[in-house]
Amino acid sequence: MKHLRIFIALALLAPFFSSLAQEENDENQDMTIKGQFEDMERKSTNYRSGNGVPYEVIRLASLNEVKSNIFDTINTAYESIKDLSATITANKAEIEDLNAKLQDTTNKLNTVTEEKDSISFFGALISKGTYNFILWSIIFALLLFLLFFIYRFRNSNFLTQQAKTALADLEQDYEQHRRRALEREQKISRQLQDELNKQKK
């Protein structure tokens, strides 16, 4: 009696367990096209014809379902391809626009950098290095001229001082000579006067 109750309970629960197993199989079923073909292959039956050729029998509903899924997948792929092509075209146009803007920005940056690194010199833009070279060359040339003029001034001043000293010496010699000549003349005049006085006597 006890065994009968267990058997009845199992008989009542069998459809429940069967539906649970079917749902679990449906959840674990591979829904890719390859999985659907494999599933259709598993569910197919086979038989041999009278001449011994083996045949696989597939349910038409399963075949139509797989065919419909294949066409849906192809249509979805075509739509994805069209969307991706449109996106690629839009991206290419955007990339070309960005490249043009980048080129324009690079040109402007180069111009600004050139202007920043250059100085207007008599209306012409020259690099700072060239400007510094010209400026320091002018300063060096002016410094050389200044040193040359200082040298010439000192040399001229030295020669002037020598000339003044020589002139003072010459004047002193002349004065001494004039004095001696005057004294000699006075002495001669006295001697002459003495001779003249002697002859008068």
Q: Are 30 and 41 in contact (CB under 8 A)?
A: no
pLDDT, residue 64, reads 86
Q: Using CB atoms within 10 A of its CB, is residue 66 exposed (0-12), middle (13-18) or buried (19+)?
A: middle
What residues does each domain of the chain span? 28-47+55-116, 124-195
Per-residue model confidence (pLDDT) at position 143: 94
Q: Which residues have a Cβ under 8 Å from the Cβ of 119 and sit 6 or more positions away?
A: 125, 126, 127, 128, 131
Output the furthest CA–CA distance in the chain (Å, rounded).
216
Paired tokens of 64:
């139509």
Q: What share of residues in the chain are helix, strand, coil (percent, to 5)?
A: 85, 10, 10
Residue with token string 């490249």: 99
Dihedral through CA 29, CA 34, CA 38, CA 41, nearest 10?
A: 130
**Strand ranges (DSSP E) for 59-141?**
118-121, 124-127
Give pLDDT tens digits along the chain (201 positions). 555 555 555 555 555 444 444 444 445 566 787 888 788 778 877 777 778 788 777 788 888 888 888 899 899 999 999 999 999 999 999 999 999 999 999 999 888 877 776 667 666 777 777 878 888 999 999 999 999 999 999 988 888 998 899 898 899 989 998 899 888 888 888 888 888 888 876
d(CA 82, CA 156): 97
Written as six digits, the tokens of 50 are 């009278």
Note the pLDDT of residue 1: 52
Whole-number pLDDT of residue 110: 85
pTM, rounded to two decimals: 0.38
